[in-house]
Structure 1
Amino acid sequence: MAKFLIVGGVAGGATTAARLRRMDESAEIIMFERGEHISYANCGLPYYVGGVITERENLLLQTPESFHKRLNVDVRVKNEVIKINREEKTVEVKDLSNNTTYTENYDKLIVSPGAEPIKPPIPGINDKAIFTVRNVKDTDKIKKFHKEHQPQKAVVVGAGFIGLEMAENLHHLGMMLTIVEMAEQVMTPLDYEMAAVVHQHLKTKNVEFYLKDGVSEFERKGDYLEIRLQSGRKIEADMVILSIGVRPETKLIKEAGIELAPNGGIQVNEYLQTSDEHIYALGDAIAFPHPITGKYTNAYLAGPANKQGRMLANNLILGHKFAYKGAIATAIAKVFDLTVGSTGLAEKVLKKEGFEYVSNITHSGSHAGYYPGATPTSIKLMFHPKSGKLYGAQVLGYEGVDKRTDLIATVLQKGGTIYDLQEIEHAYAPPYSSAKDPVNQAGFTAGNIIEGLVKIIHWDELYQLHAPNNYILDVRTPDEYELGKIEGSVNIEVDQIRNRLDEIPKDKKIIIYCGVGLRGYFAARILMQKGFTEVYNLSGGYKTYEHATCKQSNEDIFESSYIARDGHIYRGKPTEEQAEEPKNTKTIQVDACGLQCPGPIIKLKQEMDKLENGQRLQQKVTDAGFVKDAEAWCKMTGNKLISIDSEKGIYTAVIEKQKQEMKTAHHAQLPKNKTMVVFSDDMDRALASLVIANGAAATGSKVTLFFTFWGLNIIKKTDKPKVEKDLMGKMFGKMMAKGADDLKLSKMNMMGLGSKMMKKRMLSKKVDSLEDMLKTAMENGVEMIACQMSMDVMGVAAEELLDGVQIGGVATYLSEAEQSNLNLFI
């Protein structure tokens, strides 16, 4: 009779024990678990915290008693294996309930230690209000704290899958929610432009988040925690969730002298056997060659652990018949209304590993557009440029993301190609899909690229191009173009291209874009067959470009907040209109769900034309771009955007038709705003700019300062964080002033003596310093904008600028200038 000892329960250990018993009724099986629970739904823990899963017992899949009764397994909870004696084939066990130790022998030892949360040595990290989420005991602590203290503001440190799930569930409890993430994006398994979609969705949920920033210290301040970030910011919180990441728990194995892989996981062979033939390992702690890269990786996922447990038990009873092939890391997560799926390798990994690949983004509907309720689905594929071999995919959307991710993962796991995606026979009916499923469509588009029917360019390549050497062609409708465009582009609608070929230069690289890429493909095919050779279509269209190039983080939204009568949290002071009860006006409801851009805006215009002054239109759409478009359209037309909300991928805008005479009166008013372009970093010119700005702000005028080129030095932080720069950026950094305190006079600077004399003179005359003037200007509502182009040229990073400074382009300045009666260039 064989004797099996299993260290650790949950997905790996408990599955192995259950399968072993089903395969061998006579085997002696002992399972050790240092905690109280042997089998629980750890993936459901965030949803239990948020109250979505209401009963704690629903998390407990098996109890020690039920496991023993059904499977005759000797389950020993609160028993920790503290040592492995390989020569004697025994383990030392500590009974945590009575603090005694004993020895148990084995024929085969199976270890499933899992992974432990990373908890760096940050000052104050052991505060009572700081929690990790790894097991049921952790959630019990969080639930108890919430019940006793009723926290109003929570901070989640780390924005991986678990971190975002926790953020959603704390938000579900009604808390103001802040996320702090060290990387430049959330969900690092995703590529940047796909994570950008998540960033914009978080903004619609009023989630505050800081990117490229980490925690340097936690400090208890009475009833709350002060969290100091590496950038110098300070955030207040009632509770904190640490979700920085996990690492394999390998202490027991390492001390036993068993080999570890280069990445620190337990190294196993294809039969999940360690370097000791009598010891096997599985779950989060093991490292196994990745099916694509061949490098040792960990898969912190429940699916692979469960499958490993079944396979391992089979091999222990039947001999080494079943080989483990490794995990391609197929994962999915719910982020509020958005669903995010990924499988295989991201583009950034392929680039790092030196793979030859192509990536492409497509946007499709979740089901047939003519059937109500279709929502957008975005798919990014990575594949070999010649064979079409599939390397990875990322899928974002609101419905059907799971099945699309699974379809692609199945092809990828079998070593398939994009041509296999084209041939997938899927279940189709209008409520569930289209005749060409989004996965088919992604495969067709990838095939067009491989076959040379279209050349593509990516958002980041276009963003860095020198526009004069290229011809950027927007083939959307003029209405779409007015609502937002790529700087320097020319608008010729796709249906007009054949009649306007003479306007398009043949001696330049032509870059075409539309909303999502489809019309751009049609335009590219026309031009390529009309003799244009250097023609490129923007992958993912303007939708991907806009998401990736707009502001990603969402800082300081809770600095001054209040809860209005509609139950929503608003920033700033409530206006009279917001404080009032909603007035009784006629509201027309329109369902534009399923329409792709420009459909929602066209529908909006058509319906608004039917309304009388003062009436409101409530329009529901599924195109996320409508959030920005609706606001821009209202500004252009003079109509009033009352509100815009989102729920489960459906965006609802309420717009009031403004009275004609009100709009006329509005346009008849003389502008009273003030704008200044601050080009110089001379101390005296900087002082003049701020004196004028503060004076104008004091009279009630809106003031905008647009800092460009050397003027950027005025708005630099005194203690700037370290940022990576290229050679030119470093050279400019050494030549330029370090900040407002380092500026020189334009006349009689005298090697710096003049500026010192000026500062002393200002102090004696009780004139505020330049730094104080900057602070006063911000407090008075002076808007400070840094020129993005100048920042790129001068090598100035956003992190170096003062908090509160916005980043924009010339269009931002011109928009403000149009509303001004004073424009200065200093």
Structure 2
Amino acid sequence: MTKYLIVGGVAGGATTAARLRRIDESAEIIMFERGEHISYANCGLPYYVGGVITEREKLLLQTPKSFKARLNVEVRVQNEVIAIDTVNKSVEVKDLTNNSSYTESYDKLIVSPGAEPIKPPIPGIKDEAIFTVRNVRDTDKIKSFYDEKKPKKAVVVGAGFIGLEMAENLHHMGMLVTIVEMADQVMTPLDYEMAAEVHMHLKTKNVEFYLKDGVSEFKREGGKLNIHLQSGRKIDADMVILSIGVRPETKLIKEAGIELAPNGGIKVNEYLQTSNEHVYALGDAMAFPHPITGKYTNAYLAGPANKQARMLADNLVNGHTKKYKGAIATAIAKVFDITVASTGLAEKVLKKEGIKYISNITHGASNAGYYPGAMPTTIKIMFDPETGKLFGGQIIGYVGVDKRIDMIATVLKNNGSIYDLQEIEHAYAPPFSSAKDPVNQAGFTAGNIIEGLVKIIHWDELHQMDASDNFILDVRTPDEFELGQIEGAVNIEVDKIRERIDEIPKDKKIIIYCGVGLRGYFAARILMQKGFKDVVNLSGGYKTYEHATCKQSNEDIFGSSYIANDGHIYRGKDKTAKDQKEIKTIDIDACGLQCPGPIIKLKKEIDKIEDGQRLRQRVTDPGFVKDVASWCNMTGNKLISCESDKGIFTAIIEKQKQTEACPVTSMNLPKNKTMVVFSDDMDRALASLVIANGAAATGSKVTLFFTFWGLNIIKKTDKPKVQKDMMGKMFGKMMASDAGNLKLSKMNMMGMGSKMMKKRMLSKKVDSLEDLLQTAMDNGVEMIACQMSMDVMGVDKAELLDGVQIGGVATYLEEAEQSNVNLFI
């Protein structure tokens, strides 16, 4: 009878024990676990913290009692193996329940110590509000802290897979979440431009994150935990989650004289045997040569650990018959609404290792485009430039990412190539995929590159180039081009290439791009076959370029947030300083109504309730956020809170007892000035701003309310790309793009009049319209854009000058009521 001792439970140890028993009923099997639990779903821990998994018991897959009953395996929890004697084939064990020690002999020893979270020696890191997430006990501490302290602000240090999963779940609990990451991107297994898509998504979820910054100190200040960053910034928090990374826990193995790999893991051979013939290792702490690089690496994943366990048990009982081939690190994570997955080696690793490769990005859809619900999917693959051997893949999308990363991983694991991707026979029906799945398409595109049908250039290469030395050709439609383009690009739609080919120089490098790369490929093929020698297509198209070159981090977004006494997080100024008692609140749904509909409904409903009672109104009109505050100021009612979630704005308003208005005296006469700017005629716009600046100079509060055509005055010159419907695009074409393109109301003479006016103003040293706008803002002139007009005209907030507020009728009326001058221009 063989005696097996197993150090460590969970995926590695517990699975080995179960498989050993299934194939060797007579063996003596003892498993030691220093914690309280031998087999739990550690990958589910973040979701238990966030309340997605509601029952703690569901995390506990096996107990010592169930293991003994079904498998006849003796499990000793809270028993820590503290020493290994390889000469006498025994271990020293410490019983943590009574602090006693004893010795246990073995025939074969299996070690699965796992990995421990990295906790660098940062001052203050032992604060009670700082946690790691490794086991059930850690999550119990977090849950207990949350139940007792009711934290509202959380900081996650480290933006790996676990860090982002924790950020999502803390956000799900209602906290303001800030991420601090030393690298220039989240999820470092991804390449930069792929991580950029994750950054964009995090911004839509109002997650604050700091990149290229680390923690220098944790310090208690005024009851708050202050996180001091290396950049000099300070962030306050109620709790902190450390997700800096993990390292193999090998102290026990090293002290036993067992050989470690260069990377610090436990070195094993293809049978998972260590340098001692009677000791075997698996799981997070075990190191094995990577299938591609040949260098020792660790796989911190449950999937490989389970497979290693099964293989190891078979070899222990039946002899060394099964060989371990190594792990390619296939991983996946849910990050709010998107799914992020990777397998094999990233481009940056291939570059570091000096392995020749080509990388390429394709954009596809989760299912057939003509079937409802198709969602975008981005795929990046790395492959050998000659043979097409696959090195790695990364996918970001909403639906079907898991099955597609599995397709790529299966090909890669079997030493396959991009030609195998082309041949994958996938299950196809319009709701699930396209006849050519995005993975097939990635293979087809890679084949075109290897076969010389197209040459590619990457976003970072193009970003660093001097545009004057090359001809950048945008082959999208003119409408797409107007919404955003690469600097210096010339727009010739792909379908017009042949008839406008004389406009393209043959003595320059031609860099082609479209939205995602497909039309660029068509254009490249036309030019290459027309005799153009140096033609390249932008990998991933404008979509990848735009994501990768924009600002990545998302700092300081919580400056205007506060936590009220009712326990909710609100934006703006704290209006709930006093203790609140239970107050009757009536729910009103005004979703779908446009300004002034929500305010009219609010007025109608508040008339029905008694003083001191409240309305909770839900609205989808963004202008309501400002309107409701203005309306409350005008009517004397009290705005308790206003917050948003998934495009729905919820305001709580308390009805106040109405008193008679104060009598008008010389001391309280209104002195403010308001103007409704309806026109975008250049001369009228000039008049508005001259009057506004003059009034502001006298100390008056001045408000300009821009509506309909007047919105064109306050548009940015360099507007970002925004999504618009067809009518919005049409209005955009017909209207002036910004203040510099306005026309005179009379004598415009097809633009000559406005040019003469600008020249005359310059000669007379009169500020330009653009300068007057800036002066007005500097003088504190309040500029409000009408939300209803924006909706009708298809104008997006992102197109307006920084500092312009969004409001509606109630906002304007409040200002007008406080004014002694009110103009319509």
TM-score bracket relative to the smaller structure: 0.7 to 0.9
SS at match of 1:664: coil
The aligned residue for residue 247 of structure 2 is: 247
Determine the C-alpha separation between the residues in 1 that align with 2:220 and 2:324.
49
Q: Which has the larger radius of gyration?
A: 2
Q: Pick the aligned partner of 2:685 from 651, 660, 669.
A: 669
Q: Which residue of structure 1 aligns with residue 143 of structure 2?
A: 143
* Secondary structure, aligned partner of 1:236: strand
Distance 2:699 2:7 in 1: 68
Equivalent position of 1:161 in the other structure: 161
Q: 1:140 to 1:698 in 2, by over 3 A?
A: farther
Task: Classify 1:192/1:64 alpha carbon distance in 2 versus 1 (closer, same or farther; 3 Å).
Answer: same
Name the aligned partner's letter for residue 414 of structure 2. Answer: K
Aligned partner letter, 1:139: T
How far does residue 482 in structure 1 lie from its aligned partner after superposition?
1.1
Q: Provide the secondary structure at the position in 1 that maps to 2:140.
A: helix
Alignment CA distance shift 1:671-1:216 (3 Å):
farther
Give 3-state SS (helix, strand or coil) of 1:273's partner. Answer: coil
Map Cα deviations across residues 620-661 of structure 1 (whole Å, 9 max, x no partner).
Answer: xxxxxxxxxxxxxxxxxxxxxxx99997xxx999xxxxxxx9
Aligned-residue offset at 1:397: 0.2
Aligned to 1:718: none
Aligned to 1:496: 496
- Per-residue CA deviations over 1:99-129 (Å, capped at 9, x if unaligned) read 0000000000000000000000000000000
Q: Does 1:342 align with 2:342?
A: yes
> What letter matches 2:505 in structure 1?
P
Distance 1:583 1:335, change over 3 A: closer
Instruction: Find the aligned partners of 2:457 and 2:551 in 1 and give their Cα distance.
Output: 22
Residues 1:549 and 2:554 aligned together: no
Q: Distance in 2 between matches of 1:394 and 1:4?
A: 40
- Other-structure match for 1:513: 513
> How many angstroms apart in 2 are the aligned matches of 1:479 and 1:379?
26
Distance 2:140 2:301 in 1: 23
User: Partner letter of residue 434 of structure 2?
Assistant: S
Q: 1:93 to 1:48 in 2, by over 3 A?
A: same
Paired letter, 2:70: R
Relative distance call for 1:61 and 1:778 in structure 2 (3 A) is farther
How far does residue 222 in structure 1 lie from its aligned partner after superposition? 3.6
1:571-623, Cα deviation, whole Å (9 max, x unpaired):
65699xxxx99587379xxxxxxxxxxxxxxxxxxxxxxxxxxxx9999xxxx
Deviations 1:751-777 (A, max 9, x none): xxxxxxxxxxxxxxxxxxxxxxxxxx9
Aligned partner of 1:31 in structure 2 is 31
Is the CA contact (8 Å cut-off) linking 1:223 and 1:238 kept in structure 2? no
Q: CA deviation at 1:223?
A: 2.8
Q: How does 1:242-321 map to 2 (within 5 A)?
A: 242-321=242-321
Q: Say if 1:698 and 1:780, in contact at 8 Å, map to a contact too.
A: no
Task: Write the letter of the residue equivalent to 1:471.
Answer: F
Cα distance, 1:556 vs structure 2? 0.2
Say if 2:601 is the partner of 1:585: no
- In structure 2, the CA distance between the partners of 1:149 and 1:666, relative to structure 1 (3 Å rule), is farther
Amino acid of the residue matched to residue 395 of structure 2?
V
Matched, 1:58 2:58: yes
What amino acid does structure 2 have at the position aligned with 1:664?
S
Residue pair 2:593, 2:621 contacting (<8 A) in 1 also: no
User: Residue 583 and residue 107 in structure 1: after superposition, are their counterparts in 2 closer, same or farther (change >3 A)?
Assistant: closer
Secondary structure of the residue aligned to 2:552 is: coil
Percent identical: 77
Offset at residue 224 of structure 1 (A): 1.6
Cα shift readout 1:17-52 (whole Å, capped 9, x = no counterpart): 000000100000000000000000000000000000
Is the CA contact 1:204–1:646 (under 8 Å) kept in the aligned structure 2? no
Whether the 8 Å contact between 2:216 and 2:228 is mirrored in structure 1 is: yes
The amino acid across from 1:199 in the alignment is H
> Counterpart in 1 of 2:109?
109
What is the alpha-carbon distance in structure 1 between the residues aligned to residue 110 and residue 381 of structure 2?
A: 38
Secondary structure of 1:669's aligned partner: helix
Distance 2:198 2:698 in 1: 39
Label 1:617 to 1:469 Cα distance change in 2 as closer, same or farther (>3 A).
farther
Q: CA deviation at 1:496?
A: 1.0
Matched residue SS, 2:679: helix
Q: Relative to 1, partners in 2 of residues 1:155 and 1:67: Cα closer, same or farther, differing over 3 Å? A: same
Distance 1:76 1:583, change over 3 A: closer
After TM superposition, give the deviation of residue 669 of structure 1 in Å: 2.6
- Distance in 2, matches of 1:151 and 1:425, equals 50
Cα distance in 2, alignment partners of residues 490 and 781 from structure 1: 40
Shift in CA distance, 369/696, structure 1 to aligned 2, threshold 3 Å: farther
Shift in Å at residue 672 of structure 1?
8.2
Q: Report the secondary structure of 1:52's partner residue.
A: coil
Distance in 2, matches of 1:271 and 1:176, equals 48
SS of residue matched to 1:339: strand
Q: Runs of 4 or more off by more than 4 Å in structure 1?
A: 567-575, 580-584, 616-619, 643-647, 665-668, 671-674, 694-702, 777-782, 814-817
For 1:238-278, what per-residue CA distance to the aligned partner results, in whole angstroms no more than 9, with x for missing partners?
00000000000000000000000000000000000000000
Q: 1:714 corresponds to which residue?
A: none
CA–CA distance in 1 between the matches of 2:620 and 2:197? 27
Offset of residue 529 of structure 1 = 1.0
2-side partners of 1:696 and 1:247: how far apart?
66
Task: Pick closer, same or farther for the CA change 1:370–1:568 going to 2, 3 Å.
Answer: farther
1:27-106 to structure 2, matched below 5 A, reads: 27-106=27-106
Secondary structure of the residue aligned to 1:166 is helix
Distance 1:780 1:50, change over 3 A: farther
Q: What is the alpha-carbon distance in structure 1 between the residues aligned to residue 178 and residue 362 of structure 2? A: 31
Report the Cα distance in structure 2 between the residues aligned to 1:663 and 1:423, rounded to whole angstroms.
Answer: 61
Secondary structure (helix, strand or coil) at the match of 1:84 reads strand
**1:319–1:673: structure 2 CA closer, same or farther, 3 Å change rule?**
farther
CA contact (8 A) 1:283 1:300 kept: yes
Structure 2 segments unaligned to the other structure (5+ residues): 576-587, 596-618, 623-641, 650-675, 691-695, 705-713, 717-775, 782-798, 805-825
CA distance in structure 2 between the aligned counterparts of 1:408 and 1:238, rounded to whole angstroms: 42
Residue 17 of structure 1 pairs with residue 17 of structure 2: yes
Q: Aligned partner of 1:523: which letter?
A: A
1:697–1:781 CA contact under 8 A, matched in 2: no
Name structure 1 gaps, 5 residues minimum: 588-615, 620-642, 654-660, 675-693, 707-776, 783-813, 820-826
- 2:441 and 2:621 map into 1 onto residues whose CA distance is 33
CA distance, structure 2, for counterparts of residue 380 and residue 697 of structure 1: 58
CA contact (8 A) 2:472 2:489 kept: yes
Question: In structure 1, how many angstroms separate the alpha carbons of the residues matched to 2:699 and 2:120?
Answer: 46
Q: Give 1:408-557 correspondences, 5 Å limit.
A: 408-557=408-557
Contact 2:271–2:324 (Cα < 8 Å) also in 1: yes
Letter in 1 for 2:238: D
Q: Is the contact between residue 509 and residue 535 of structure 1 (CA under 8 Å) also seen in structure 2? A: yes
Shift in Å, 1:419: 0.3
Instruction: Supply the distance in 2 between the matched residues of 1:432 and 1:411 (Cα, whole angstroms).
Output: 21
Post-superposition offset of 1:561: 2.4
Shift of 1:662: 7.1
> Is contact 2:697-2:779 (8 Å) kept?
no
2:749 is aligned to none
Hey, what's the Cα distance between the residues in 2 that align with 1:171 and 1:377?
25
Task: Report if aligned partners of 2:368, 2:433 keep a CA contact under 8 Å in 1.
Answer: yes
How far 1:531 moved relative to its partner? 1.1
Given that 1:93 and 1:102 are in contact with CA atoms closer than 8 Å, whether structure 2 keeps it comes out as yes
After TM superposition, the structure 1 stretch with the greater mean CA deviation from structure 2, 555-564 or 113-122, is 555-564
Paired with 1:37 and 1:191, the residues of 2 have a C-alpha distance of: 37
Q: Cα gap change, 1:584/1:432 in structure 2, threshold over 3 Å: closer, same or farther? A: closer
1:189 corresponds to: 189
Q: Is the 8 A contact 2:590 2:620 kept in 1?
A: no
Which residue of structure 1 aligns with residue 152 of structure 2?
152
User: Matched residues in 2 for 1:194 and 1:644: separation?
Assistant: 31
In the aligned structure 2, how far is the partner of 1:778 from the partner of 1:352? 50
How far is 1:477 from its partner? 1.1
Q: Name the CA distance, whole Å, in 1 between partners of 2:297 and 2:70.
A: 35
Distance 1:189 1:97 in 2: 40
The change in CA–CA distance for 1:324 and 1:96 in structure 2 (over 3 A counts) is same
Task: Please show how residues 741-756 of structure 1 align to structure 2 within 5 Å.
Answer: none
TM-align CA RMSD? 3.5
TM-score (norm 1): 0.72
Deviations 1:806-825 (A, max 9, x none): xxxxxxxx9969x9xxxxxx
Tell me, in whole angstroms, the C-alpha distance in 1 between the residues paired with 2:643 and 2:46: 28
Displacement of 1:511 in angstroms is: 0.6
How many angstroms does 1:670 deviate by? 3.0
Provide TM-score, normalisation by structure 2. Answer: 0.72
Equivalent residue of 2:686, what SS?
Answer: coil
